């Protein structure tokens, strides 16, 4: 498939140069046809370029400051300094000297905040409830006016950066990215290590006699200049008021006249080309990454040559490279597109996940790739392909869904660094000028004499002689001159490679349906022995899009590890068979997926409604006529096997979450049971299983958006006719007595259950704690009390456990909801303390927080309640968000479609004493109704502590879980809200 760059954009000079600075508001910014928001460009006297966005319908305000300085600017000998400064600016300022006051304010007023550092920019952003934008902006602006950086905070945040780096060390995608940077010119900024760690930011500078605080201040003073900043502010106020707000808050940002950091040339000299790099990953699997240095697409963004080329190279339809590799059984996936890029250099990459057989045919795969590229180079550049892409991208731009304001402002502020003002919204998303020469230029760069091949496999263990210094990746390098690649081309199998055919899924009817019933909530449209259908017309977004969710409830799917594996196999094969046909639907903006779920499997579709029925009926037809193809079964079996084998390489906090679900969910199988099951599964087993799986089926559906009720009924009738009413059909009705329900273990009051486990990856030094406090099953009053408590405690927990105690980069407090059973969950991942110690620190925090809660001023309580009310009253941004809420109510059987309105009403009557009573009864240390489950995953640094905790006698009122399944069987379960689905009544 066509892939997009993962990192945020780097600065570039657009073709023809950026537009000259214009007076405030003079630029007409291109915006989508359906976008009712107001936009105004403002340039402050200090040269800070701003965009204010007025959206009277928004529920959230947001802002993003993009600074045209990234890790490329890190001084020699101080890797990670730009990233470290990003961390430090959150702490305090001269105007707001209380540490973490900015983060506290944002959290207490319904918002979130974050930042990231890229190659050539650093981006800071937040969102907050509408009425708090003024105060939030005032705090935010001080980062760029007078920040405070104390020596004490320096030491603590170095630990946070180091913990972040520790978290990343065993992540293959980051390891390989750094390896690609490593094999290039050391003098080029691309070669740098971006994250930093304790050694680069503290130990080594101390040895060199450098004061890291002074270095930070120098870096900030040198690079953080108003003329290198781009600000976006989004709110419901008028453009005039937003402009005044920006002028008042940000005019004091200093302009030192700093020129933007610049560099010249590509990071790869001739010695870094024509190379084959063999590397050893952490996870099982084989991957080929083929890269070429190219002219950055940003220099010709109006022409979009890279988008044209990546569309063809990454295509998955008949005649494509991937289609051929898949048919040969050599590839599991392929993506192509521009990778790491800036204004000066760029790479075009093709990334292919190989099967075991494909790994043995690497030379043939490279040969076929170059044969296909040669075909593209010599067959011209058909304009109809460009026109097709233009239609798809124009439609996508003009019918773009609203996104969360924080995400929107980040995207735009990043664009402001790159594009002229008129293109800040559209950016490079809609190439509008057909240029065969620009396309041919990119194709001509994809040659054997410029190639870099990175080949990853565990099979290379013991065959490498080099080590990348920052992540410790083992690798070797060998030359692959063009003559060798030409031999591979000549020897590769002769396959029918050709460009794709025209896309039949491009929507042609974008009209809006006239639906008479405009209900705010879903209604049950139809119910039979075979299915139930819920329907919700579009009353909010007015776009030619729809959403479909179909749950196939098949009790046999969860009855054993073998049945889980076979159901997974069935859905993956179904997607595999559909791929060459339905890939065009995804390209044209019609997303679909078939996946297993808790009670069987599901079909999801979202996008333009015009061709949606065609796609759905094709999927249903494939289910009805499903046959097991042995060659594809073998490939899919290998894919699933590797996924289970790689489970042990998940982060420790992810393993803790897995154990928690395993303990709480009534019917859940372990990853190693499923791995064992798949090892002896054959194609014949799936052939025998499928009639039994579908032999008892009930379909529960939700249709929403630009569809009429009669149309929905017609679709479902067609589905029933194909699956249930055909002369020979696999599907039979499911009796109500056999419907599956997902039920949750009820923990005992006054007991602390704990489950210690060694980290499955023996190399991982990180340990993790998941401290879960189970409280109640879905109840209106208790729901809002829990939500309010989580809101009030979230930032103090983060500040104390991460910022002050420096337990680890990953430190979360959040609500947990397991099929309507709710509670609080602390998650900490750490190298500095073992999980039992982390558990004690959570208890210590709760003891400290007790006083904070008891002494909370009434005005602060009211403010927190109002913040939560505002969060609940937020409108859905798009049909996905709306459908996700309503579908959850349907799938869990709660059917509280007015949940938000009811909870807001409950919040308005809430008293502070009720919150304190809730905390005292359920959450505080030794609370009488408290139910605790402590999941403790011990990493390599804490194996001794694991042995101790396993063999020590449990403390009073504590219970060590030694056998998950015996424990699960011994506990009562919460009742399910879901009766027999066919019997549900409103």
265-292 per-position pLDDT tens digit: 899 999 999 999 999 999 999 999 999 9
SS3 197: coil
- pLDDT higher than threshold 90 for residue 3: no
d(CA 458, CA 159): 32
pLDDT (0 to 100) of residue 516: 77
- pLDDT higher than threshold 60 for residue 986: no
Contact (Cβ atoms closer than 8 angstroms) between residue 147 and residue 89: yes
pLDDT (0 to 100) of residue 229: 98
What value does the mean pLDDT take over residues 726-744?
89
Rounded to the nearest 5°, which phi and psi values hold at 964? -60, -40
d(CA 335, CA 352): 7
- pLDDT higher than threshold 60 for residue 176: yes
Output 7 or 72, whichever has higher pLDDT: 72
pLDDT (0 to 100) of residue 7: 33
The pLDDT tens digits for 803-859 are: 999 999 999 999 999 999 999 999 999 999 999 999 999 999 999 999 999 999 999
The CA distances from residue 685 to 81, 492, 560, 599, 788, in Å, are: 56, 35, 14, 20, 51
pLDDT (0 to 100) of residue 374: 98
d(CA 254, CA 258): 10
**DSSP secondary structure string, 582-648?**
HHHHHHTTEEEEEEEETTEEEEEEEEESTTHHHHHHHHHHHHHT----HHHHHHHHHHHHHHHHGGG
% pLDDT > 90, the chain? 92
What value does the mean pLDDT take over residues 184-200?
96
The pLDDT tens digits for 888-899 are: 999 999 999 999
CA R_g for the chain:
29
**Residue 343 pLDDT class (50, 70, 90 cuts):** confident
d(CA 444, CA 305): 12
d(CA 35, CA 541): 11
What value does the mean pLDDT take over residues 37-64?
97
Query: What does the angle CA 199 – CA 205 – CA 207 come to, to the nearest 5 degrees?
Result: 95
SS3 675: helix
Average pLDDT in the chain: 94
pLDDT (0 to 100) of residue 1: 61
pLDDT (0 to 100) of residue 17: 33
Contact (Cβ atoms closer than 8 angstroms) between residue 754 and residue 959: yes
The pLDDT tens digits for 354-407 are: 999 999 999 999 999 999 999 999 999 999 999 999 999 999 999 999 999 999
d(CA 823, CA 749): 13
What value does the mean pLDDT take over residues 933-962?
96
Q: Which residues are catalytic?
A: 86, 157
pLDDT (0 to 100) of residue 25: 52
* Cβ partners under 8 Å of residue 933, min gap 6: 660, 663, 664, 747, 753, 754, 755, 772, 774
The CA distances from residue 868 to 128, 130, 293, 790, 793, in Å, are: 11, 12, 50, 10, 13
pLDDT (0 to 100) of residue 736: 85
DSSP state letter for 973: B
pLDDT (0 to 100) of residue 979: 62
Q: What share of the chain is helix, strand, coil (3-state, %, to 5)?
A: 45, 20, 35
- pLDDT higher than threshold 70 for residue 15: no
The pLDDT tens digits for 629-675 are: 999 999 999 999 999 999 999 999 999 999 999 999 998 999 999 99
- pLDDT higher than threshold 80 for residue 180: yes
Q: In the structure encoding, which two tokens stand for residue 117, read together?
A: 């550092």
d(CA 551, CA 538): 21
What residues form DSSP beta bridges with 331?
A: 354
- pLDDT higher than threshold 50 for residue 984: no
- pLDDT higher than threshold 50 for residue 9: no
* Domains, the chain, with CATH or none: 38-251 (3.30.830.10), 270-404+422-491 (3.30.830.10), 523-738 (3.30.830.10), 744-974 (3.30.830.10)
- pLDDT higher than threshold 60 for residue 484: yes
Contact (Cβ atoms closer than 8 angstroms) between residue 222 and residue 305: no
What value does the mean pLDDT take over residues 795-802?
96
CA-closest candidate to residue 890, choices 599, 547, 538, 522: 522
SS3 144: helix
The pLDDT tens digits for 299-332 are: 999 999 999 999 999 999 999 999 999 999 999 9
Of all helices (H) and strands (E), which one includes residue 687? helix 683-694
Contact (Cβ atoms closer than 8 angstroms) between residue 404 and residue 871: no
Contact (Cβ atoms closer than 8 angstroms) between residue 750 and residue 957: yes
**Residue 768 pLDDT class (50, 70, 90 cuts):** very high
**Residue 537 pLDDT class (50, 70, 90 cuts):** very high
């Amino acid at each position: 498939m066509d892939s997009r760059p993962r990192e945020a954009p780097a600065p570039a000079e657009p073709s023809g140069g950026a537009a000259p600075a214009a007076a405030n508001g003079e630029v007409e910014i291109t915006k989508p046809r359906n976008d009712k928001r107001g936009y105004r460009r403002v340039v402050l006297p200090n040269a800070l370029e701003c965009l204010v966005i007025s959206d009277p319908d928004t529920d959230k305000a947001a802002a993003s400051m993009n600074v045209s300085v990234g890790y490329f600017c890190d001084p020699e000998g101080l890797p990670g300094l730009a990233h470290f400064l990003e961390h430090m600016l959150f702490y305090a300022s001269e105007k707001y000297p209380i540490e973490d006051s900015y983060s506290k304010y944002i959290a207490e007023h319904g918002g979130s905040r974050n930042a990231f550092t890229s190659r050539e920019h650093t981006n800071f952003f937040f969102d907050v409830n509408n009425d708090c934008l003024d105060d939030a902006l005032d705090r935010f602006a001080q980062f760029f006016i007078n920040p405070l950086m104390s020596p004490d905070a320096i030491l603590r945040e170095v630990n946070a950066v180091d913990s972040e780096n520790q978290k990343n060390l065993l992540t293959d995608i980051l390891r390989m990215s750094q390896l690609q940077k490593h094999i290039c010119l050391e003098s080029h900024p691309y070669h740098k290590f971006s994250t930093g760690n304790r050694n680069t930011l503290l130990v080594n500078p101390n040895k060199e006699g450098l004061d890291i605080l002074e270095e930070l201040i120098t870096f900030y003073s040198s690079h953080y200049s108003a003329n290198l900043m781009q600000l976006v502010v989004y709110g419901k106020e008028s453009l005039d008021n937003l402009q005044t707000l920006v002028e008042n808050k940000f005019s004091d940002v200093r302009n030192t006249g700093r020129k933007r950091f610049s560099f010249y040339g590509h990071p790869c000299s001739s010695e870094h080309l024509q190379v084959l790099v063999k590397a050893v990953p952490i996870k099982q699997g084989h991957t080929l990454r083929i890269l070429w240095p190219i002219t950055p697409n940003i220099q010709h963004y109006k022409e979009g040559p890279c988008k044209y080329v990546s569309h063809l190279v990454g295509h998955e339809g008949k005649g494509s490279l991937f289609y051929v590799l898949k048919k040969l059984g050599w590839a599991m996936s392929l993506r192509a597109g521009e990778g790491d890029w800036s204004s000066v250099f760029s790479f075009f990459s093709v990334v292919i996940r190989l099967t075991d057989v494909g790994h043995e045919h690497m030379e043939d795969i490279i040969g076929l790739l170059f044969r296909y590229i040669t075909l593209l180079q010599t067959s011209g550049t058909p304009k109809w392909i460009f026109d097709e892409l233009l239609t798809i991208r124009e439609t996508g731009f003009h019918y773009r869904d609203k996104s969360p304001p924080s995400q929107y402002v980040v995207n735009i502020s990043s664009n402001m660094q790159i594009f002229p003002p008129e293109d800040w919204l559209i950016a490079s998303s809609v190439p509008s000028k057909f240029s065969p020469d620009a396309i041919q230029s990119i194709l001509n760069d994809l040659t054997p004499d410029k190639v870099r091949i990175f080949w990853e496999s565990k099979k290379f263990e013991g065959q490498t002689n080099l080590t990348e210094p920052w992540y410790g990746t083992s690798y070797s390098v060998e030359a692959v001159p063009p003559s060798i690649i030409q031999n591979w081309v000549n020897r590769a199998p002769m396959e029918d490679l050709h460009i794709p055919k025209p896309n039949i899924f491009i929507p042609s009817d974008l009209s809006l349906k006239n639906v008479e019933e405009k209900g705010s909530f879903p209604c049950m449209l139809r119910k039979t022995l075979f299915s139930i259908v819920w329907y919700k017309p579009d009353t909010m977004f007015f776009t030619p899009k729809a959403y479909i969710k179909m749950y196939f409830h098949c009790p046999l799917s969860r009855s054993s590890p073998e049945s889980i594996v076979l159901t997974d196999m069935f859905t993956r094969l179904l997607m595999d068979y559909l791929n060459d046909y339905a890939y065009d639907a995804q390209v044209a903006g019609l997303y679909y997926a078939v996946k297993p779920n808790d009670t069987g499997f599901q079909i999801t579709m979202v996008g333009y409604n015009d061709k949606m029925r065609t796609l759905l009926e094709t999927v249903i037809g494939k289910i009805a006529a499903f046959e097991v193809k042995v060659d594809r079964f073998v490939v899919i079996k290998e894919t699933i096997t590797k996924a289970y084998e790689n489970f042990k390489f998940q982060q420790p906090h992810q393993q803790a979450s897995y154990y928690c679900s395993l303990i709480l969910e009534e019917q859940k199988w372990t990853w190693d049971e499923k791995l064992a099951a798949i090892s002896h599964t054959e194609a014949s087993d799936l052939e025998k299983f499928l009639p039994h799986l579908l032999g008892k089926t009930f379909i529960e559906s939700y249709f929403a958006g630009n569809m009429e009720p009669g149309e929905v009924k017609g679709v479902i009738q067609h589905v029933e006719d194909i699956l249930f009413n055909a002369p020979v059909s696999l599907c039979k009705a499911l009796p109500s007595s056999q419907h599956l329900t997902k039920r949750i273990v009820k923990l005992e009051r006054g007991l602390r259950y704990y489950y210690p486990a060694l980290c499955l990856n023996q190399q991982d030094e990180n340990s993790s704690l998941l401290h879960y406090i189970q409280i109640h099953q879905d109840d209106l009053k208790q729901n809002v009390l829990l939500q309010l408590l989580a809101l009030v405690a979230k930032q103090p927990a983060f500040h104390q456990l991460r910022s002050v105690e420096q337990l680890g980069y990953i430190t979360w407090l959040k609500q947990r909801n397991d099929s309507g059973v709710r509670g609080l969950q602390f998650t900490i991942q750490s190298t500095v303390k073992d999980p039992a110690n982390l558990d004690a620190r959570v208890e210590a925090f709760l003891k400290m927080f007790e006083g904070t809660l008891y002494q909370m001023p009434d005005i602060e309580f009211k403010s927190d309640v109002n913040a939560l009310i505002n969060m609940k009253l937020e409108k859905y941004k798009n049909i996905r968000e709306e459908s996700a809420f309503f579908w959850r109510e349907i799938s869990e059987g709660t059917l509280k479609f007015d949940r938000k309105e009811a909870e807001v009403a409950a919040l308005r009557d809430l008293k502070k004493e009720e919150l304190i009573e809730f905390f005292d009864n359920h959450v505080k240390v030794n609370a009488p109704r408290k139910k605790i489950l402590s999941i403790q995953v011990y990493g390599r640094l804490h194996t001794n502590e694991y042995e101790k905790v396993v063999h020590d006698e449990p403390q009073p009122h504590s219970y060590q879980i030694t056998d998950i399944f015996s424990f699960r069987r011994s506990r009562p379960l919460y009742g399910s809200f879901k009766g027999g689905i066919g019997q549900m009544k409103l």
